[in-house]
Amino acid sequence: MPQSSFHMRIVDSAMEYLSVQSASAVLPLQEPSWSDEVPASLKRRDPRIWQMAYVASLRVMTNLPVKPNAIMVATALGALDETKNFLDGVFTDGLGSPRNFIASVHNSMAGKLAQEFKVAGPNLTLCDGHNSLASAIGACALLQSGDFPALVVAVDENIELLDRLIPHLSPGCKQALGNNKQEGAVAFMLHNKNGNQGPRIRSVGPLFIGDKGPDAACSTLLQSQDPSDQTSVSLPSKTAGSFLSVSVAVHDVFRGSIAGRYALCSFSPSSKAIAIVEVCQ
């Protein structure tokens, strides 16, 4: 079962559409030179996952006349490397590095982005596995009108330990993560104005499905919506099998100017939940 599958019918969500002003991505496997854009001071002292989030955010803000008033970060596992390094310190010589500990918290990327870009408004981190982007967009839709524009950044990193662990995880997790080691950051600038025209996005879920099959659950959810509203174009997924699958696919729609409306369904085996991100270009 592919991690993200692209369905034809559009979801009728309780959430309002948000307009997409800009999109960007940092995907190290495809773009090894991405770190050239990291300022020397950050490159020297900051964790790699912070740097990926920083560069994706910097790119998305380029050429926009306004800066964000809110930051929403979507991450499944957060700063894995920092967490591992902290525990290694504790288990090796009894001393964990305070720097590693500070960076290990899931919201460290969001805090760093607020500090770097001076964004004093709401600052939330959503951790819903493969559904994290859907959660972050849902959380954006709950913001007050004065909190927009909002910077949404999906970010996850791969580390050697995760590579070793994946073959030994439960069949569901193994299948969901697959063999793809994709990591990176994908950023969007969202606004609540003009949500009914131009590039736009909204989400449903995560919705708990228990032991129902995710494909069937996604189809049921989509078919329960307006059956007359359809599009038949499917999308490629370059990162099927990573936490960033849906984020990258959404990015491809907006950056590639692929016309149409798409509902992207994701499934998180750890929480037994599906979510749908609907994009219109």
Instruction: Tell me the β-bridge partners of 41.
Output: none
Residue 122 to residue 114: CA distance in whole angstroms = 10
Minimum distance, C-beta of residue 157 to other proteins, in the bound complex (Å): 14
Which x/- pattern over 190-229 shows residues binding other proteins (rule: CB under 8 A)? ---------------xxxx-x-------------------
Residue 102 to residue 54: CA distance in whole angstroms = 17
User: Looking at beta carbons only, is 181 or 255 nearer to other proteins?
Assistant: 181
Residue 122 identity:
P
Of residues 23-82, those binding other proteins (CB under 8 A):
71, 76-78
Of residues 83-142, those binding other proteins (CB under 8 A):
83-84, 86-88, 90-91, 94-98, 101-108, 110-112, 114-115, 118-129, 131-132, 135, 138-139, 141-142
User: Looking at beta carbons only, is 32 or 210 nearer to other proteins?
Assistant: 210
278 — phi, psi (to 5°)?
Answer: -105, 130
Residues 104 and 86 sit within 8 Å (Cβ to Cβ): yes
Residues 112 and 98 sit within 8 Å (Cβ to Cβ): no
Cα distances (Å, whole numbers) of residue 127 to 56, 80, 132, 225: 19, 13, 6, 27
Q: How many helices (H) and strands (E) does the chain have?
A: 10, 9
- Tokens representing 64 are 């926009």
Which x/- pattern over 149-188 shows residues binding other proteins (rule: CB under 8 A)? ---------------xx--xxx--x---------------
User: Looking at beta carbons only, is 40 or 95 nearer to other proteins?
Assistant: 95
What lies within 8 Å, CB to CB, of 33 at 6+ separation is none
User: Looking at beta carbons only, is 253 or 276 nearer to other proteins?
Assistant: 276
Residue 119 to residue 270: CA distance in whole angstroms = 32
Taking CB under 8 A as the criterion, the residue among 7, 251, 261, 272 binding other proteins is 272
Contacting positions for other proteins (CB under 8 A): 14-15, 71, 76-78, 83-84, 86-88, 90-91, 94-98, 101-108, 110-112, 114-115, 118-129, 131-132, 135, 138-139, 141-142, 144, 164-165, 168-170, 173, 205-208, 210, 268, 270-273
